[in-house]
């Protein structure tokens, strides 16, 4: 799926520090912890807790955030929809990675088990066709 160039420019320029508190509030409101959020972010990006804490206060853009990440080899197993868009059909790599993170945080907030969120071996698929 192609994303409008203006939207891409806006998302690429967003800072991780402006989004992180929103992600944290979302999971905490649903009874999950900051540690669990860090685990999800770390699984996707390869950043450790100290790096996530630093990046949450830096002015690094999402584009820079994902450029410096070591994306998990199983990230392509993240499927489903976020805001009505299938993440596996997004063409722009940064936008797709942003939506991967959104999808993982949504799953965490909905109470999904961590082994399913992290697409661990032996765990059933975290999403099925047509699920959100």
Is 130 a residue whose pLDDT tops 60?
no
Residue ranges making up the domain that contains 101: 5-117
Q: 106-120, pLDDT tens digit by residue?
A: 999 999 999 999 997
9: burial class by Cβ within 10 Å (0-12, 13-18, 19+)?
exposed
Q: 11-42, pLDDT tens digit by residue?
A: 889 999 999 999 999 999 999 999 999 999 99
> Would you say 117 and 108 are in contact if contact means Cβ atoms under 8 Å apart?
yes
Q: 90-107, pLDDT tens digit by residue?
A: 999 999 999 999 999 999
The answer to whether residue 124 sits within a structural domain is no
Say how many domains are in the chain.
1
CATH code, domain with 58? 1.10.8.290
The answer to whether residue 112 sits within a structural domain is yes
Q: 38-67, pLDDT tens digit by residue?
A: 999 999 999 999 999 999 999 999 999 999
* Mean pLDDT of the residues in the chain: 89
What residues pair up with 82 in beta bridges, in sequence order?
85
Nearby residues of 99 by Cβ (< 8 Å), 6 or more positions away: 82, 85, 87, 90
Is 80 a residue whose pLDDT tops 90?
yes
């Amino acid at each position: 799926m192609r994303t409008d160039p203006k939207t891409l420019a806006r998302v690429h320029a967003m800072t991780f520090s402006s989004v992180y508190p929103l992600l944290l509030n979302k999971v905490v409101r649903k009874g999950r912890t900051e540690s669990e959020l860090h685990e999800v972010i770390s699984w996707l990006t390869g950043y450790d807790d100290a790096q996530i804490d630093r990046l949450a206060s830096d002015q690094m853009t999402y584009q820079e955030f994902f450029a410096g990440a070591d994306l998990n080899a199983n990230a392509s197993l993240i499927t489903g929809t976020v805001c009505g868009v299938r993440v596996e059909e997004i063409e722009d790599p940064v936008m797709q990675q942003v939506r991967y993170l959104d999808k993982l945080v949504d799953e965490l907030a909905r109470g999904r088990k961590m082994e399913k969120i992290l697409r661990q071996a032996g765990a059933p698929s975290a999403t099925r066709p047509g699920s959100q």
